[in-house]
Amino acid sequence: MVDAYLQNGSKLVDITNEFFKACEELEVGEFSMSDDFKISYAMSAIEIMDPKMDSGLNFFEWKMLNFTDKAEHTQEILRLSSKEIIATFDATFATIASWLNSQPLDQTIFSNMCMCDSEVIKNNIYLYTLSTATLHFTSLLKQFFRCASVSNEEDICLQSGHNVPSYDRTFVSTNLTDTIAKLRKTIRGNNTATEKHEFQALLIRFEFFSSLLEMFDYLLPSKETLYLLTAGVNETEIDHFVPNLYSAGEQLQKCLLLHKRILATINFGKQPPKGEKDQLFDWLSTFDSNTYLYMSTAGLPRKLQLFSRVEGYKYIEDTLETIGEIIMSVPDSVTTTWGLLELVKKFGDLHSNVLTRSVLQLILFPINRHNITGTIPFTQIAFNSINRFCGYLMNNNLQDVVAQHNSYFPHLNAPFNELFCLFERAYACLYQTHGNNLARQWDFFHVNFDDFSILINEAIQLEDEMRGVRLRVFQTQGLVLSVGGVPVNDDDDASDYTKIIQPMTPIPPLIERLRLENKMEYPLSNFFLYTILETMHHYFWIGFQLRLFLPFEFIYVYW
């Protein structure tokens, strides 16, 4: 090998075969015949051979420095053609789709150098509007993911080594409005047919971005509201928010129509040279796939699965259509606990992504878990569900039963209150579990089983208390009530109870059945057991979908 070096000087020489022959001369366990050889040399060689070290060894052009210099000291960025701006817009949305598909933030969105320092391109209204709107949208999605609490490290990468400014919604909206107005004015001017088509394609894209942000304004709390929630501000000090599903649906339909027109005009943008990959976009002036290597903290290169422009738009279209299904499904599903359960199961399956699952969670619980969709008290859904499930309450609303028990049986107040507090917590936690990806759902279900076990125990205790109630009939306008087996004999007491009992005539079904049968046909514990069985069924379905069961376990799973 030394001879090869001496003969060829500084020229690159392949020494693989020579190195292999030299290694054959070494004894087993012997590193080198050289007297000055050290073990650290071998360790260094192993580290250099590690693919993770390639980022430090491979030469790459510092395109970012050239881009910044051109933007600050020349007019080259201002002179970008409309074809390139169209392609830049499409590539930016492809990187957003790749990021939502669990690829690193620094290797997707921030491969667009406009995002790294948007202020240097302030003179180009199109690029500046695109970059500020994208940065706002990215930070908005981050807040969605954090507040929904259904995203995990394998779903989305929220960390970035870039320190970028935060743009508020008003600023971004103003920029989009000005850009759209400028494009419309330009289209009305004296341009060639080709130029008009290109400007029209740009207008469609900015209108799409504007409608997309407006849809999220109607659908989910603002970034500022979510920030206050994550900061631990008292919920009473935060503005109340109710999702406007109708207006959000209108904007969504507009987005889908504009999206079809975008796909039809994607060829109006600049196209990559032959042999260039469409996923990396290095053929565009504003993109550099190596940006993360010198702008971020030390990162580990990985095999990326990036979308091309067409694939990225297809991913966004699928996401928007799923959000549309959510908007259509929510009103019919929020009346009962099992309706909500079917809803979160439907949109938590294999075909969902982290954005659609987070959107569903924030629609159901925009501020807290006490009010579904910000308007329906969870206790009302609980009462309605139990009324529909338990046959003995079909003719008498559970709210009335609880009110009657609060009047007649004060000692049942505490069990009732505790039961419904546990009810709300257990079901809200179960719905949130279904918002995770399938593998995480499998892991988290044991927490739900524990919650419902406690809930069933509380329900059984309450049932036992209610079975201890005895009704005794004696002559005071046809009905006098005794509590806990202690008859009411005093005339004054009887008259007091008569006043209370008058609204109960005729005898409520619950009291009548307790009097006649001394039992409950469909106890509360069965209601919660039904939910556990449904969850167990889904638990095993996930196990088979993800192939987590081995063949010899099938009989065990069946039984």
164-184 pLDDT tens trace: 778 889 999 999 999 999 999
CA distance 29 to 551: 44
pLDDT on residue 492: 47
- Contact yes or no for 213/186 (Cβ under 8 A): no
pLDDT on residue 225: 82
pLDDT on residue 50: 62
| Residue 109 resides in a domain | no
Q: In the chain, pLDDT over 90 holds for what percent of residues?
A: 34
Q: How many domains does the chain have?
A: 1
Residues 143-164 have pLDDT tens digits of 999 889 898 888 898 888 777 7
| Residue 108 resides in a domain | no
Of 298 and 531, which is predicted with more confidence?
531
Identify the sign of the CA torsion 168, 173, 174, 175: positive
| Residue 385 resides in a domain | yes
Which residues contact residue 464 at a Cβ distance below 8 angstroms, ignoring those fewer than 6 apart?
none
Tell me the residue range of the domain where 456 lies: 319-473+510-558
pLDDT on residue 328: 94
| Residue 344 resides in a domain | yes
| Residue 23 resides in a domain | no
| Residue 464 resides in a domain | yes
pLDDT on residue 46: 67
- Could you tell me the pLDDT band of residue 49, with boundaries at 50, 70 and 90? low
| Residue 18 resides in a domain | no
Residue type for 190, please?
N
pLDDT on residue 247: 94
pLDDT on residue 237: 73
Residue 111, helix vs strand vs coil: helix
CA distance 387 to 385: 5
- Contact yes or no for 304/226 (Cβ under 8 A): no
| Residue 355 resides in a domain | yes
Of 420 and 99, which is predicted with more confidence?
99
Cα-based angle 119, 124, 130 (whole degrees, multiple of 5): 75
Which residues contact residue 471 at a Cβ distance below 8 angstroms, ignoring those fewer than 6 apart?
481, 482, 511, 514, 515
The mean pLDDT value for 309-338 works out to: 93
What are the DSSP E strand ranges found in 153-192?
none
Cα-based angle 141, 318, 210 (whole degrees, multiple of 5): 50
* Closest CA relative to residue 308, chosen from 325, 284, 332, 326: 284
pLDDT on residue 275: 76
- Evaluate if residue 39 carries a pLDDT over 90: no
